[in-house]
A and B are shown apart, each in its own frame.
Chain A
Amino acid sequence: MPHEQLKQLFQLEFAKMVAVISNLFGLQHIELAEDIVSDTFLTAAEDWEKNGIPPNPTAWLYTVAKRKTIHQFRRQKIFDQKVVPFLSSEATNSLGHIDLDFSPKHIRDSQLQMLFAVCTPAIASEAQIGLALRILCGFGIDEIAEAFLSNKETINKRLFRAKEKLRTENIQLGLPPESEISARLDNVLHVIYLLFSEGYYSQTQNRILQKELCWEGMRLGVLLTEYELTNQPKTNALLALMCFHASRFNARQTSEAAVILYEEQDERLWDADLIRKGLQYLALSATGDQLSSYHLEARIASWHCIKEDTPGKWEEILQLYNQLLMVNYSPSVALNRTFALYKANGREQALIELEKLKLEGNYFYKVLRDFLRTLPQR
């Protein structure tokens, strides 16, 4: 198996195995779960080097992980002293015998629980993303450091503090009660979007890493749709938004001005499949009576996947921005709205309203102002 595929396998299985083992030990011992899984990969790397890749690599990994988990139990005597209170009855048939459930359903359930545990408001949001990348996406410390343009020590400290918080706040693995899920889901969606944005707007030059971050964000979004209580309209709206952005990944301009001025992208570089998927998710999101900011952003993004400037297009986009600003103000959204205002209502009004924004210190403000000023008079 080429190195790249092995790395992908380990990354994917890391997240699943840590989730399942943490379910058994409890979130207090998350490092133990990480160690067991890392150790399993080490054993795998050595064994497969010597004896070749087994016919079912995943099953091989799970079997070895189970063995190492039982070994840990016995060696550290955690079982008697600390873990017994946390073990669910499915995990043990009798004292001393542990069964790790690696069925697809339990893997999915464990990952969902881990997602909610990691995206807890008790931890700072930077730490949430770092923890999500490590625990849920199986990223290495080096990669996380590169994604954040940071270094290993800082990331390690950040993760350490985050896990400490999980302990001191006594965060348990387990989905929130139904009455709280919608509110907690907001936080989870926010973290997923931040993670995706790290990849999409990233400062790092590593394009492969950028794509992986976007991809992981989308994968976590899909995970949420596989569970009925979290498969809400706003979840599908966020997925639509991520698909639309991701579809234009290869066509993104390096010039910063292009971000605000929607300069011509080479649409041959757009991914038609992702646009299609985006439209599917957008349709799925159009239910219920809750309008989230993701709905508005997704609709705006879907408009930008249509190259032609039809008369209605910029008017629609302007109204979507008007609505978005009412629920979610930010300087960049205000600037984008002003560009749409220029397209829909003309240069004069846009210039007047641009000045009212009072964003003179903002680089993109200057770009837009210069652009509008140098336009031929209407």
Chain B
Amino acid sequence: MKEFTLLFRFPVNNDPTNMPPEDMKAIAKKWQDWAGGIAAQGRMSGGGLRLAMEGKVLKPGGVITDGPFVEIRECLGSFIVVKADNLDDATTLAHGCPILDQGGSVEIRPIFG
């Protein structure tokens, strides 16, 4: 099996960290159940790391801006590494990811091995 990164992006105007507690709890459960489902298949490789909201972006010409990289009003939230046979197989694992309910997206990228 090969390794793939699943990168989660959430819409900028829908920051998951600004939410009422009960909703937070419900979303947390969705995430844990979804990730647990992947782990139950023996396909989890690593990750589950979350990225803090501060950051910097360096672009050509030495231009530095504050804050995370924002493009098309989406922002990278975190990532996991999974095991799959090929890109289609890895994409199947991404279905049901709670970020999709929030208007976000999952980017699936193979890792050079």
Which A residues have a C-beta under 8 Å from some C-beta of B?
315, 318-319, 321-323, 325-326, 329, 331, 334, 337-338, 341, 345, 353, 356-358
Contact = CB atoms under 8 A, between A and B. Distances in A.
Contacts of A337: 36, 40
Contacts of B32: 319, 322-323
Contact of B39 (A318, A319, A322): A322
Report which residue of B32, B33, B39, B48 has the largest number of chain A beta carbons within 10 angstroms of its beta carbon: B39
B38 to A, nearest CB: 9
Q: Is the interface of B mostly helix, strand, loop or mixed?
A: helix
Contacts of B29: 315, 319
B37 A356 contact: yes
A329 B42 contact: yes
A325 B40 contact: yes
Interface in B19-55: 29, 32-33, 35-37, 39-42, 44, 48
Interface of B: 29, 32-33, 35-37, 39-42, 44, 48
A125 B37 CA distance: 31
B40 A318 contact: no
B37 to A, nearest CB: 5
Contact of B36 (A325, A331, A358): A325
A28 B63 CA distance: 67
Contacts of B35: 322, 326
B50 to A, nearest CB: 14
A353 B37 contact: yes
Report which residue of B33, B36, B44 has the largest number of chain A beta carbons within 10 angstroms of its beta carbon: B36
Contacts of A322: 32-33, 35-36, 39
A296 to B, nearest CB: 12
Contacts of A341: 33
Contact of B40 (A315, A319, A338, A345): A338
Which 4 interchain pairs have the tightest Cβ spacing?
A322-B36, A325-B39, A334-B40, A329-B42
B82 to A, nearest CB: 12
Nearest to B48: A326
Nearest to A330: B42
